[in-house]
Amino acid sequence: MTTRRILGTFASGDLQGLRAATRRPTLSKAIGASDTASRARQVIVAVLAAAILAWSSIPVANGAEPGPQAVVQSFYDWYIAEAEAGRPLTLRGRPDLTPAFVDWAEHYNDGQMFGADPVLCAQAIPDSVTAGTATISGSKATVPVTEAFGAPYTITVGLTLGSAGWQISTGGCAQASPAVARKPDGRIRLGTHGYPGKTTSFDATFVGNNIYNTTGAHQKAVVESFNELEGSFFTFDISIQNDRTRADRFKVKATGAATRGGWKVAYFHGTTNITAAIVAGTFRTASLAPGASYLIVAKLTQGSETTTRLVTIRSVADPTKVDAVKFGYKRGACGC
Ligand SMILES: [Ca+2]
């Protein structure tokens, strides 16, 4: 498995070697009037020409252009190959991407301390990427894309059909289809920092809202510090929202039973210590109505080394629906 980070490699400019195959053939045969035909025949020809021209302006699949599955597979094959080779991942100008998708991807990591690749929605290059069967509805389509890491996971890519053929319009970290029923939505923020007798609230903004993955990518809160005082602690707020249309409960499991660098990791709901159940993966939230949320506070106490925890949130009603957030402490450099 490749673990090299591939962030920050987007560049503007035209892509060389565009795949002409993604171009939709244009209607090139002119409809000409016969110079020997009768006026009636000319009228018929004119009507037929208008009808064909009108038809040609409607973006419908005619079987001549690559289908959504082929477009997605081809794009991801190119993307993985370029990433593996360490070349700039220039999206601008590709005929298989909508300009709006390119804009979104190029600015996905703006203002983020820890970025993720927006197209792969991951922080590493997968071993392989497989585009599945497309679901087509008129000029819209979605294609499931399975990325094979140690454990494969699937993202959804959306396409639209226009004059340039099928183009990827949503995908990667921007999940495309509302038909994909994402259920738990974990969000996280740094809550407080303190030591005995003094607590400072950061009141940070939650990250990870409407982002769903199993890696915690783009939904994590990591504090960087150095040389903490005796008894110091950090708390992180984990908000679990029910993003489905019916009430559900959610199982919560955190990685890392063992501590590193002296950190003690505890989890609370209100004043109730739920650490043992969270670490064992047996903890369940109360039943949450659609849109309702449930707060768990994670507390890191007095340690020194870099440490992180991945908290996985799984629907009880549909265990295939998972989200995850990450938090931790990064030991910074001494400012002395
Ligand atoms: Ca989320």
Sign of CA dihedral 29, 35, 41, 44: positive
- H helices of the chain, where? 39-56, 68-85, 99-106, 275-280
3 state DSSP class of 296? strand
236 and 325 together in one domain: yes
Q: What is residue 93's predicted lDDT score, i.e. its pLDDT?
A: 92
Last residue within a domain, chosen from 114, 143, 170: 170
Residue range of the domain that includes 148: 65-170
pLDDT by residue (tens digit) across 28-75?
Answer: 233 333 444 455 455 454 544 444 444 444 444 555 789 999 999 999
Per cent of the chain over pLDDT 90 is 39
Separation of 187 CA from ligand 1 center, angstroms?
Answer: 5
Could you tell me which residues are beta bridge partners of residue 266? 299
Are residues 312 and 214 part of one domain? yes
Distance from the CA of 310 to the center of ligand 1, in angstroms? 13
Residue 2 pLDDT grade (very low, low, confident, very high; cuts 50, 70, 90): very low
Looking at the structure, tell me whether residues 202 and 323 fall in a common domain. yes
Do both 282 and 161 map to the same domain? Answer: no
CA of 291 to the centre of ligand 1 (A): 13
Q: What is the distance in A from the centroid of ligand 1 to the CA of 314? A: 12
Buried b vs exposed e over 21-37: b needs ≥16 C-beta within 10 Å? ebbbeeeeeeeeeeeee
Integer Cα distance of 231 and 225 in angstroms: 15
Q: Specify the pTM.
A: 0.48
224 and 285 both lie in a single domain: yes
Ligand 1 centroid to Cα of residue 6, in Å, is 22
- Model confidence pLDDT, tens digit, residues 177-221: 333 455 899 999 999 999 888 999 987 889 999 899 999 999 999
Cα separation values, 185 from 221, 227, 250, 319, 321, Å? 15, 34, 10, 14, 10
Q: Are residues 196 and 74 both part of a single domain?
A: no
In this structure, is residue 206 part of a structural domain?
Answer: yes
Q: Supply the CATH number for residue 147's domain.
A: 3.10.450.50
200: CATH: 2.60.40.2310
121, 172 Cβ separation under 8 angstroms: yes
